């Protein structure tokens, strides 16, 4: 293990990442430092930092049967992520408005079929949000089954976008935009009971029409389209909003994913040293309570050195010719007093 570590992170020139603008134009500047440094940097996982603001928002898809608790779960996630900019987009907003003819035969319309949604519009909006643009989302009225033609909901660019709906996993193009897919899995009887209560109280329906629609369209479409899309989920939450453990774990995961992104946003001059197996190995070793003191010091020292060397790579420098016992070399000399640090490491 020690040998592997030694060869992987021993003294090297990984700190010498020259930006083209800082390269001297004289022929002597092609001394191989730059190529060596960049190759070494890549080998160490010191990839160039992403351009500020280039990171895309984290898109979470939340699916599940009607009244399974999708909105409730999303609200809980949003509440727990209170220090991040999070927006919720409902697939319901993208229902096609009914034509006059369809409205007259409302009882025959299947709102649970994929064709009931304007998926192209949904894709366009999600694509824009993912690329950091704000969008106008349609507003849907469940009482008259139409989109409001005059007003929209303006949704601004955010760190986290949550897309929620019964069929958000159905279309592969929508699925492909998602960084995390959650399926809320709640017992069908409980969902029906909730749906009856919600639709009669909030959506202006009577119990008979809710039951008829459920038997004719909601349940068959759940079996045909919603349930088969469960296999795409990364996480399945049994019992929806009652499952605090699952929601806590999901929030932790999102926080971890957002961590580096946030630091880079707050401090534009933060550069993240990308991890490698060697770096992870050393982090693991120094956290092992049984590690010997010399080993702890050894690996901690190496980790610290990687950070310092990476930092040095961001400093400006000038070339200096020196005479060594074996000949003449060009070395890049970091601006004092940092030069001291650099020389100490390469000797
Ligand atoms: N864990 C729960 N316990 C009791 N009622 C709930 C629970 N989760 C959701 N509900 C209720 O069930 C209905 C549907 O929940 P909602 O989160 O809107 O589901 P969905 O978005 O999947 O349709 C709402 O009236 C809500 O208040
Ligand atoms: N005009 C409409 C549009 C949709 N529905 C039903 O809504 C359900 C989806 O919303 P959830 O919050 O329950 O996920 C879906 O099952 C449709 O049947 C409707 O009744 N009327």
DSSP states along 166-204? TTTTTSHHHHTT-SEEEEEE--HHHHHHHHHHHHHHTS-
CA–centroid distance, residue 53 to ligand 2 (Å): 37
Does 38 share its domain with 69? no
Q: What ligand 1 atom has the least distance to the C-alpha of 197?
A: 25
Binding site membership of 218 for ligand 2 (Cβ less than 6 Å): yes
100 exposed, middle or buried (CB, 10 Å; 0-12, 13-18, 19+)?
A: exposed
Query: Considering 216, 236, 263, which residue would you say is the last residue of a domain?
Result: 263
- Per-residue pLDDT of the chain (347 residues), as tens digits, is 444 333 333 322 222 223 333 333 333 333 333 333 333 333 333 333 333 445 689 999 999 999 999 999 999 999 888 766 889 999 999 999 999 999 999 999 999 999 999 999 999 999 999 999 999 999 999 988 998 878 899 998 888 999 999 999 999 999 999 999 999 999 999 999 999 999 999 988 999 999 999 999 999 999 999 999 999 999 999 999 999 999 999 998 888 877 755 666 656 677 878 888 999 999 999 999 999 999 999 999 999 999 999 888 888 877 777 777 777 666 666 554 444 444 444 43
Does 63 share its domain with 101? yes
CA–centroid distance, residue 240 to ligand 1 (Å): 8
Q: What are the contacts of 187-194 at 24+ separation with CB within 8 A?
A: 188/65, 188/219, 188/222, 191/65, 191/66, 191/67, 191/68, 192/67, 194/67
Does 283 share its domain with 317? yes
Does 317 share its domain with 202? no
CA–centroid distance, residue 127 to ligand 1 (Å): 28
pTM, entire model: 0.67
The CATH code of the domain that includes 235 is 3.40.50.300
The pLDDT score that the predictor gives to residue 274 is 81
Nearest CA to ligand 2 atom 14: 66
Strand 317-324, strand 327-334: pairing? antiparallel
Query: Considering 204, 231, 263, which residue would you say is the last residue of a domain?
Result: 263
Does 304 share its domain with 215? no
Let me know: does 114 contact 169? Beta carbons within 8 Å.
Answer: no
Binding site membership of 68 for ligand 2 (Cβ less than 6 Å): no
Does 259 share its domain with 185? yes
Query: Which residues sit opposite 22 in a β-bridge?
Result: none
| CA triple 135-141-146, angle to 5 deg | 85
Q: What ligand 1 atom has the least distance to the C-alpha of 64?
A: 22
The closest of 44, 22, 18 to 32, measured between CA atoms, is: 18
Does 102 share its domain with 135? yes
Tell how many helices (H) and how many strands (E) occur in the chain.
13, 9
The pLDDT score that the predictor gives to residue 48 is 36
Nearest CA to ligand 2 atom 5: 111
Nearest CA to ligand 2 atom 19: 111
Query: Could you tell which of 194, 200, 222, 245 is best to mutate to test the pocket of ligand 1, judged by most ligand atoms within 8 Å of the CB?
Result: 194
Residue 23: left (phi > 0), alpha (psi -120 to 50), or beta?
beta
Q: What is the DSSP secondary structure assignment for residue 228, as one 8-state letter?
A: G
Does 241 share its domain with 285? no
Does 219 share its domain with 301? no
**CA of residue 235 relative to chain centroid, distance:** 15
d(CA 278, CA 8): 7
CA–centroid distance, residue 214 to ligand 2 (Å): 10
Structural domain boundaries enclosing 308: 2-49+271-346
The total number of residues shown for the chain amounts to 347
The pLDDT score that the predictor gives to residue 261 is 58
The total number of structural domains in the chain stands at 2
User: Ligand 1 pocket: which residues have CB below 6 Å?
Assistant: 64, 66-72, 194, 198, 240-242
341 exposed, middle or buried (CB, 10 Å; 0-12, 13-18, 19+)?
A: middle
Does 106 share its domain with 31? no
The pLDDT score that the predictor gives to residue 314 is 83
Nearest CA to ligand 2 atom 2: 142
Does 99 share its domain with 199? yes
CA–centroid distance, residue 144 to ligand 2 (Å): 12
Query: Considering 219, 239, 263, which residue would you say is the last residue of a domain?
Result: 263
Does 96 share its domain with 202? yes
């Amino acid at each position: 293990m020690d040998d592997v570590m030694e060869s992987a992170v021993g003294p090297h020139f990984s700190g010498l990442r020259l930006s083209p603008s800082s390269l001297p134009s004289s022929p002597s500047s092609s001394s191989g430092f730059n190529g060596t440094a960049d190759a070494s940097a890549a080998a160490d996982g010191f990839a160039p930092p992403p351009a500020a603001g280039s990171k895309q928002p984290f898109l979470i898809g939340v699916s599940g049967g009607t009244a399974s608790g999708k909105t409730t779960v999303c609200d809980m996630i949003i509440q727990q992520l209170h220090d991040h900019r999070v927006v919720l987009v409902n697939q319901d907003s993208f229902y096609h408005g009914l034509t006059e003819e369809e409205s007259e035969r409302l009882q025959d319309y299947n709102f649970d079929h994929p064709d009931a949604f304007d998926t192209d519009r949904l894709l366009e909006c999600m694509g824009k949000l993912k690329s950091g643009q704000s969008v106008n989302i349609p507003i849907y009225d469940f009482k008259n089954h139409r989109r409001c033609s005059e007003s929209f909901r303006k949704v601004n660019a955010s760190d986290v976008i949550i897309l929620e709906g019964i069929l958000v996993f159905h279309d592969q193009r929508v699925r492909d935009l998602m960084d995390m897919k959650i399926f809320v899995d709640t017992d069908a009887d409980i969902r029906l009971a909730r749906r009856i209560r919600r639709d009669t109280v909030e959506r202006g329906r009577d119990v008979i029409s809710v039951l008829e629609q459920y038997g004719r369209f909601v349940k068959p479409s759940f079996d045909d389209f919603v349930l088969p899309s469960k296999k795409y989920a990364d996480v399945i939450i049994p019992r929806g909003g009652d499952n605090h453990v699952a929601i806590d774990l999901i929030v932790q995961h999102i926080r971890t994913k957002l961590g580096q992104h946030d630091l880079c946003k707050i401090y534009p001059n933060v550069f993240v040293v990308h991890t490698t197996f060697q770096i992870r190995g050393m982090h693991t070793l120094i956290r092992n309570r049984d590690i010997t003191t010399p080993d702890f010091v050894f690996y901690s020292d190496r980790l610290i050195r990687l950070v310092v060397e990476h930092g040095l790579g961001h400093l400006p420098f000038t070339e200096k010719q020196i005479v060594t016992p074996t000949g003449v070399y060009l070395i890049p000399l970091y601006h004092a007093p940092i030069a001291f640090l650099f020389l100490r490491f390469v000797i």
